[in-house]
Amino acid sequence: MQTKEDKTFKVLGNKVIIDLRGRLCETPEELLQSTLFRHLLAIAVDGLREKQSPLLEIFGNREPDKKVLENLSELLSLLSRVPADLLQGKVEYADEFIKERDLLNDFVEYLYNFWRTYDRFIILNSENDVLDKRPYRT
């Protein structure tokens, strides 16, 4: 969940306000390891729990706690670079998530659609920054 020190985003109902002081995530790995992604992943999984969704089977017998969600986030980051076949048997927590590829695919699609349900706003505060010299560009 979002900590008091993390003021880079705020989730208000179905709105996400991202406060940029610097730059956006530039790679899929950065995005999938970001605090915002992990926060929204936790919200998405909570929604699946409320619906008692079959997508929760991706977690097997494990309770999707913070550590399990961190592992899933890390796995998704790895999958953005490496095919799933190369991860099986080599990454301890990968096998449980990868064993049913269709379920993993459905879960990722659910996450994407979940993200699309949010209105997203980006606030770029570039005061006294080099971006002041280049307006309308991030």
Q: Which two tokens stand for residue 101?
A: 């590829």
Q: What is the pLDDT of residue 8?
A: 85
What is the reported pLDDT for 1? 47
CA distance 75 to 17: 26
Mean pLDDT, residues 116-137: 74
Mean pLDDT within 16-41: 89
Mean pLDDT to the nearest integer, 40-68: 95
- Which residue would you say has higher pLDDT here, 132 or 29? 29
Report the DSSP beta bridge partners of residue 10: 17
User: What would the mean pLDDT of 88-94 be, rounded to a whole number?
Assistant: 88
- Render pLDDT for 59-69 as a digit per residue (tens, 0 to 9): 988 899 999 99
Confidence at 4, pLDDT banded by 50, 70, 90? very low
